[in-house]
Amino acid sequence: MASKRDIRKYLLEPVVGSRFQPTGFPDLGAATYDGPGGDTRLLVESVQSLANHLEGTTWDEAAQQPVSTVEAIPYVRVVDADGGFLTSSRLEAHRLASAYVLDAKDGGVGFRKTLVERFGLVKNKPLDLRKVYSEIYALDPLSLLHGVFFAQGSWPWQPKISRAVSAFIEAEGVNSAVSGGVKKDSVNNNLDKDAGRTSDRGYGMVPHHRTEYTADKITLFVVIDEQQIHSYGLPESATELLLALADWEVATLLDGGLRLRTACDFEVIGVDGAGELPDIEASEKRLTEAITAADLGAVTELVWTGSKG
């Protein structure tokens, strides 16, 4: 029987040296924990963050539009009253459920109202998930890969789609590498509160410390839930588009390098277990063919004026 999930494990190492800076969390800092064998482990990059990195492979930040490979795949583009670009469903943390999307207008009609109608949300009637999946696919297929939750209490239903693509980076056998530095003031080392020259405003000598880490093993885990993607009940061409898009995102992310932060830059050195490194040319060819075969709609442009839609 075919696997229900495509599970991949890629081995990483820092591009230079052995130290790296993991993701941090408010009031927690770095997320260290004990592994099953008692060794110290570290969450280098979270599922949420890597979802953003994977989505980022589809977007050209300088041009404020999708990269050429996926330009035919629909998405929601939000502009201001003058037509200036503001954001899109590819950039917002909540994707199609972003406040900037929901509060924008399409032809003068609030998009919240439009979605309720398109999703077929009716009080005292069951939620038609297949219709929801179909409409989300028409608006932005990426929301079916990376998840979306319409937490709208006023709606008859609150459609929620879990991530079909999950990824995170974990390090094993970690040790902390503590260092520090100082911000110099080349004009005047002395602080003067009365004159407004205080350290919180950037004056004076400001020492600081930093904690980086080393690790025996660093692994990027990727899970593509093929069963979930098939469960959407979309046409075969649409299902293939989603699978090809997920594969292309992973291949593109690895091919472009994993520079997650200034002091966190990795390269792929191999595969942990079965499998091979992704072939970016093969992935792009598959995706291009899937886009050509799929029945795709146009970009949806909404206008956000700052008032509730």
DSSP string across 76-126: EEEE-TTS-EEEETTTSTTGGG-HHHHTSEETTEEHHHHHHHHHT--TTS-
What is the pLDDT confidence band of residue 196, given thresholds at 50, 70 and 90? confident
Residue-level pLDDT at 1 = 41
| One-letter amino acid for residue 8 of the chain | R
Residue 189's closest CA among 171, 204, 207? 204
Tell me if 72 sits within 8 A of 95, measured CB to CB. no
pLDDT in tens, 44-80: 999 999 999 999 999 999 999 999 999 999 999 999 9
Q: Which residue has the tokens 């992973």?
A: 250
What is the pLDDT confidence band of residue 2, given thresholds at 50, 70 and 90? low
Q: Please give the structure tokens belonging to residue 181.
A: 């530095």
Strands 76-79 and 300-303, by their bridges, are: parallel
The arithmetic mean of pLDDT across residues 252-273, rounded, is 93
| Gap between the Cα atoms of 114 and 116, Å rounded | 6
Asked whether residue 229 carries a pLDDT value surpassing 80, the answer given is yes
pLDDT in tens, 204-226: 877 778 889 999 999 999 999 99
The arithmetic mean of pLDDT across residues 71-94, rounded, is 96
| One-letter amino acid for residue 165 of the chain | V
In our burial notation (b when 16+ CB lie closer than 10 A, e otherwise), range 223-232 reads: bbbbebbeeb
Residue-level pLDDT at 109 = 93
Q: Express as a percent the part of the chain with pLDDT over 90.
A: 80
| Gap between the Cα atoms of 138 and 146, Å rounded | 15
| Gap between the Cα atoms of 281 and 77, Å rounded | 28
Q: Which DSSP helix (H) or strand (E) runs through 33?
A: strand 31-34
Among the ranges given (45-54, 148-157, 181-190), the one the predictor scored with the smallest mean pLDDT: 181-190
Q: What is the pTM of this model?
A: 0.90
In our burial notation (b when 16+ CB lie closer than 10 A, e otherwise), range 47-81 reads: bebbbebbbbbbbeeeeebbeebbeebbbbbbbee
Give the total residue count for the chain.
Answer: 309
